[in-house]
Amino acid sequence: MIEITLSDLNNSSFYQQTLQTIEHICDEYGIGNDFGTLSMANQMVSDYLGMNHPQFNVDVDFQIENNEVSMNYTLQSGDFKSLSEDNDNQNTALFVLQSLADEVSFSTDFDTLITTFHVKTKISVQRSFQPQVVRQNIFR
């Protein structure tokens, strides 16, 4: 599994940095067809944060495994409780997130929003905990 963490993002840096990271992930792992879905879900989170937590600070963890990309948004102050609540007018951001992502969940204290997307990467991302040694014969 590969992890990328963006820390202490605020209103002015959130969207640009997360979008660049999504673009990098899509290019690096050959999932360019999923760029629109991932970026649209990220836009929904950005819109929600901007309307409900105008002075937010958030950490974003991207986790990439063979057939899965997860984006975990953790608010440093505040929570996603209002996003999780289903009201009579159906929360639009939550509805769109649930339509785009394969899984949407919240931590028990609602400070973290977890979105998971099932994708088909062209490059295998394997769990390997043993260092690989590359040996070359430099005297050839």
Domain count, the chain: 1
Q: Is the pLDDT assigned to residue 125 strictly greater than 50?
A: yes
Position 42 in a domain: yes
Q: Per-residue pLDDT averaged across 54-78, rounded?
A: 94
* Residue 133 or 60, more confident: 60
Position 100 in a domain: yes
Distance CA 75, CA 58 (A): 4
Residues in a beta bridge with 63: 3, 70
Position 20 in a domain: yes
Position 131 in a domain: no
CB 103 within 8 A of CB 116: yes
The string of DSSP codes covering 99-129 is HHSSEEEE-TTS-EEEEEEE---SS------
Q: Is the pLDDT assigned to residue 6 strictly greater than 50?
A: yes
pLDDT for the residue numbered 88 = 53
Distance CA 111, CA 34 (A): 26
Q: Please report, rounded to a whole number, the percentage of residues in the chain having pLDDT higher than 70.
A: 84
Query: What is the H or E stretch that residue 12 is in?
Result: none
Which residue in this structure is represented by tokens 């989170």?
A: 45
Domain around 21: 2-118
